[in-house]
Amino acid sequence: MLIEMDADAEIDSGAQSWRDALTAAHGAGFVFLDLLTVVDRTNLDSGELGPWEFLAHLLRPGDRARRWIRRVQDEPEIESVTDLFAAAAWHEREIHEMFGVEFTGAAQPHDRPLLLAGRDIGGKHPASQLEYPLRKRTPLVARLTTPWPGVHEPGGGETRSRRSRRVLRPPGVPQAWLTDSSERGGSDAQR
C-alpha cells in the first residue's frame, strides 16, 4: 500500500512503487528530504511479525509545501533513494543498523557500523546473539534489570501497607519476557 499526503489531504500521484513516488515528488520540486524512517508494526501480544511502515517527509523550498510518502509492506526490504536525495544515505544506514532493513540498489552497502560500532548486530557473526536494537521483538534488557517504579511502596522501607498499589510491568516489556513475577513484585493477575 502506497499513500501520499500533501499537507493534510491524501493525493494520488499514480505511482506504483516507493521509488516511483519519491521520484515523482522530487520532479515536482520536493527536493529536501527532512525524514526517512521505518516503523516496526509487529504485534508483541500475538507474537506474529507485523508489516513494516516506511515514511518519507519531503519539503519544497520555494513555497514550504510538505509531502509525506508512506508505504506499508510485509518485508523489511525497500528500494534505496540515495541517488535522488543525498541525505538519504545517513537515514538508510541508520535504519539498516537499527532495524535490519535492506535497501536494494544502494550506491554503497550499508554494512559499515554507524552508531553501534564494535557490536555484531543482526547475527553477521555465527556466535552473535544480538538483534537489531529498535525491532520490537528485541528484548529491552535495561528495562528487565532496572527496578521499575511501583515495585516498592512510597514512604520508604520494604513493608507494604494493607492496600497495595497495583504493580505495573515496565513499558515495552512483554509479559513473556518477565520470567519470575515474584522478583518483579506481584502476581500476574496484578499486571
CATH fit for domain 2-104, picks 3.90.1300.10, 3.30.460.80, 3.40.50.1820, 1.10.760.10: 3.30.460.80
Cell of 122: 543482526
**pTM as predicted:** 0.68
Least confident of 1-15, 48-62, 113-127: 113-127
In angstroms, the CA 132 to CA 121 distance is 6
3-class secondary structure per residue, 72-103: EECCCEEECCCCCCCCHHHHHHHHHHHHCCEE
In angstroms, the CA 161 to CA 124 distance is 51
Do β-strands 77-79 and 102-104 pair in parallel, antiparallel, or remain unpaired? parallel
Cβ-based neighbour number of residue 65 at 10 Å: 14
3-class secondary structure per residue, 156-168: CCCCCCCCCCCCC
In angstroms, the CA 37 to CA 53 distance is 8
In angstroms, the CA 5 to CA 151 distance is 45
Domain spans in the chain, listed from the N-terminal domain onward: 2-104, 139-191
Do β-strands 9-11 and 2-6 pair in parallel, antiparallel, or remain unpaired? antiparallel
Q: pLDDT by residue (tens digit) across 51-106?
A: 999 999 999 998 888 999 999 888 889 999 999 999 999 999 999 888 888 899 88
Q: For residues 180 and 14, which has the higher predicted lDDT (pLDDT)?
A: 14
